[in-house]
Amino acid sequence: MNTLRTGLLMAGLTGLFVTVGFLVGGPGGMALAFLLALGSNLLAYWNADKVVLAMYGAREVDEQAAPRLVHIVRQLSQAAALPMPKVCIVENPQPNAFATGRDPEHAAVCVTSGLLDRVSDEELAGVLAHELGHVKNRDTLTMTITATIAGAVAMLANFAFFFGGRRNPLGLIGVLLVSLLAPIAAVLVQMTISRAREFEADRAGAEISGRPLWLASALAHIDRTAQAVENPDADANPATAHMFIVNPLHGGFAGLFSSHPPTEQRIARLKAMVETSARPAGPWG
């Protein structure tokens, strides 16, 4: 099912990319956009995780550099029957986290320095279990492909605004439509795959840790703080916003086109898991 979903996503974003290319430069622009889309798909599959990690200046750490973080990831990975992923830290004051990689064997979990500074070990375990839930569900390939191609669509739309007027079949109106609507269309594609996926990763993460309330507490803490602390790297790369555990963006379309379900709903579902579960599982069970 995940393979089919990823294939449909790649096809949909490729179609959007080609359509934008046609509106920018006619048949020639469509052909060029198709070639660029193929290149973007290949890049997204094989190297997009490296691109995203480099985009945020993430550094890989080991048990000597970050013993608390790596120890928790190792415990949770064993509980989830997953290979040990790469563990990375981004120097960023906003508490947040994301996972990337094309499959569990090539996965990386990444946290911000703000998260490490602001949450307890229990909350950190809840967040990391959520990210490993994405890895276990093989969401990370879909998330990373979406970030890469949606970013390319937005870049092509900017190109249309500045250089597309001469050959655009629809003239100035076409340029304006492309530059305004293409990024919104890419965001809407992100939204269609993101909200349900976050609920599922919350559930999977709660099962991995065996403590749904740890993640619930972390989500409340992160959401409250993230609204007050900016994330300039995410604001500069909004196509990656859906990868984070909590929406990292401020202003603009951050609230109108949020790629995340309301935090209150996520917390309510996690609390409901506690009421219906017989006993904790996971490495702390």
Active-site residue numbers?
Answer: 131
For residues 200 and 184, give the distance between their C-alpha atoms in angstroms, rounded to a whole number.
25
DSSP states of 90-104 as a string? E--SS--EEEE-SSG
59-60, strands of its sheet edge to edge: 59-60, 86-90, 108-112, 97-100
Whose tokens are 């609920």? That residue is 199
State how far the alpha carbon of 26 is from the alpha carbons of 8, 31, 33, 39, 86, in Å. 25, 9, 10, 20, 44
User: Are the C-beta atoms of residues 228 and 245 closer than 8 Å to each other?
Assistant: no
For residues 177-211, one letter each, b for 16 or more C-beta atoms within 10 angstroms of the residue's C-beta and e for the rest, the string is ebbeebbebbbebbeebbbebbeebbbbbbbbbbb
User: Are the C-beta atoms of residues 21 and 30 closer than 8 Å to each other?
Assistant: yes
* Beta partners for residue 171, in sequence order: none
User: Are the C-beta atoms of residues 135 and 197 closer than 8 Å to each other?
Assistant: no
The CA radius of gyration of the chain, in Å to the nearest whole number, is: 20
Cite the beta strand spans of 48-139 per DSSP E: 59-60, 86-90, 97-100, 108-112
Whose tokens are 């001469």? That residue is 166
